[in-house]
Amino acid sequence: MTSPAEALERRIDELRAAVRKAVTAGERDRARELRKELRRLEDAWDEALDELADQTERPVKPVPRQAGPLLPLREQVHQALTLLGAPAAPRLIIAVHEAFHVGEIIPARLTSLRRDEERSFRTAPHSRPYYLCPALTADLLAPARGLLAVSTWPMANRVIGPLSPRVDFLISAIRLAGHLDRIPDPSTDARRLLWRFAANIPGAAPSAAAMTPAAVADAAEAELDIHRDSDRSHREAAAKRAREQLDDIEQLFGSRLRGVASTGS
């Protein structure tokens, strides 16, 4: 039986793909409406995860942390990336999973996961609702080392430019803070994870004890406003080149055979 969170995840993936198509087709009004619906469903997904967390915290018999995963690995990774809303390294994906879910992600398995995803796409293109793929470098449109993304995200969100690591860090901090703010009693692991973000954002928190999700989100948003436009311009230019010069497989998994020339002046 499909859980509410799983159903919402599938619908979110479908909406992201629809937004990308609408933007590509120049249908701005439709893209705006789809984004509204997407934000509403993402909020509902957060609430569904909160309910799942409550159920997990009140079992008749406690479930040990080392218990086997409740979902397949690719779905666990997809959950973590969806929560963060930006490309992430395996270490962060594992930390997010451990903060909010039962079960263990073995780092070595993440190494082979992306290869398995590419193999699956090559065998049966577009047969899955989403694929886990590498982020792409803005200069060569090649796989960015150690960064995973979700195929249904807009191309500009999967491209990494000079400012993108910092921008994505701030976006993830805002989303993580918002998620924690909706949890009545977040776990120690969850608060520790948020503190790791806060410690690298000026003005986010004077100390771990004084940290609040709202303060972290506000500080991250203030810095994000400084970098957002410049980063977005760089990413969109690279995304345009990717759509024009790469085939379907390369748009997801990167160009390996050649560098893609920049059209910048």
Residue 64 — pLDDT band, cuts 50, 70, 90? very low
| pLDDT recorded at residue 175 | 96
Residue 16 lies in a domain: yes
Is the model more confident about 4 or about 170?
Answer: 170
Residue 54 — pLDDT band, cuts 50, 70, 90? low
Residue 256 — pLDDT band, cuts 50, 70, 90? confident
Is the model more confident about 66 or about 29?
Answer: 29
How far apart (Å, rounded) are the C-alpha atoms in residues 12 and 37? 9
Per-residue pLDDT averaged across 173-186, rounded?
A: 93
| pLDDT recorded at residue 150 | 97
Residue 151 lies in a domain: yes
Task: With beta carbons less than 8 A apart as the criterion, state whether 81 and 148 touch.
Answer: yes
Residue 261 lies in a domain: no
Taking CA atoms, 74 is separated from 63, 110, 210, 244, in Å, by 22, 9, 36, 29
Residue 257 lies in a domain: no
Residue 245 lies in a domain: yes
Identity of the residue numbered 58: R
| pLDDT recorded at residue 41 | 79
How far apart (Å, rounded) are the C-alpha atoms in residues 94 and 92? 5
| pLDDT recorded at residue 228 | 96
Average of per-residue pLDDT values in the chain: 85
Residue 12 lies in a domain: yes
Task: Identify the weakest region by mean pLDDT among 26-30, 113-117, 149-153.
Answer: 26-30
Residue 50 — pLDDT band, cuts 50, 70, 90? low
The owner of tokens 């940290």 is 211
The total of other beta-carbon atoms located within 10 Å of residue 19's CB is: 22
Is residue 118 pLDDT above 90, yes or no? yes
Residue 128 lies in a domain: yes
Per-residue pLDDT averaged across 85-98, rounded?
A: 95
Q: What percentage of the chain exceeds 70 in pLDDT?
A: 86
Is residue 184 pLDDT above 70, yes or no? yes
Residue 259 lies in a domain: no
Number of domains in the chain: 1
Residue 57 dihedral angles phi and psi, to the nearest 5°: -80, -10
Task: With beta carbons less than 8 A apart as the criterion, state whether 4 and 48 touch.
Answer: yes
Is the model more confident about 110 or about 238?
Answer: 238
Is residue 81 pLDDT above 50, yes or no? yes
Residue 1 — pLDDT band, cuts 50, 70, 90? very low
The domain containing residue 51 runs over which residues?
Answer: 4-252
Residue 101 — pLDDT band, cuts 50, 70, 90? confident
